[in-house]
Amino acid sequence: MRIINEDIVFGPALLDAHHIESTVACYPRIILDEKTVERVQKYINYYDVAPQKGKILIDSDGQWFLNYLSTIFKYYTECNNEYEFERVQFGLLLKHKQKIEELLFEYKEDIRVWDKYVWTANYHNYFCDLHFPGERDLKISRKTLLSWPREISNGDF
């Protein structure tokens, strides 16, 4: 049963999305359900260069998810030249990097939330390595992403 009007959208796809979000998506990512993955695989196999290919990634746990950082490439049509396009991309990625670093610091004591930002930082770094290799200023330092144990000191009591 599907219900669609000006105020509500409800149906099997929404229920599937809720189920995946509540049971599988432990990181801040939009995961594709099995039916959608099958459809995407069909399209990727059909086209020589599938438009979906760069917009979806497969995570280390095998889940397919939307590559939201790929949206920075849409700004090309709004730029006057390639230099401006690259400047816009760098600016967006630097803002993304800075926000993640800020939130990693803010939540360093809340490991459940901090871990989500570590995932996001690793995704960010992967994207930068893939599309902007050698641009170290765009990447989040690995040192920021590690949680090291420490010895007890007098101030801990």
Tokens 């990727």 identify what position?
A: 44
Task: Find the domain containing 118 and state its range.
Answer: 67-145
Give the orientation angle of helix 111-131 with respect to helix 82-106, to 10 degrees.
Answer: 160
Q: Is residue 2 part of a domain?
A: no
State the pTM of this model.
0.80
Query: Model confidence at 84, in pLDDT bands (50, 70, 90)?
Result: confident
- Identify whether 18 is part of a domain: no
- CA gyration radius, the chain: 19
- Mean pLDDT, the chain, rounded, equals 84
* Alpha-carbon span 62 to 41, nearest angstrom: 14
**Residue at 47 is within a domain:** no
Instruction: Give 42-99 as a DSSP string.
Output: HHHHHSSS-TTGGGEEE-TTS-EEE-GGGGGGGGGGG-SSHHHHHHHHHHHHHHHHHH
Model pLDDT, residue 157: 59
The pLDDT of residue 94 is above 80: yes
- Would you say residue 3 lies in a domain? no
Q: Evaluate whether residue 157 is within a structural domain.
A: no
- Collapsed DSSP state (helix, strand, coil) of residue 9: strand
- 29 is written with which tokens? 């990512």
Tokens read off for 28: 């801040």
DSSP three-state, residue 33: coil
What total number of domains does the chain contain? 1
115 assigned to some structural domain: yes
- Does residue 76 surpass a pLDDT of 70? no
Contacts of 128 (CB under 8 A, 6+ apart): 93, 135, 138, 139
Q: Is residue 108 part of a domain?
A: yes
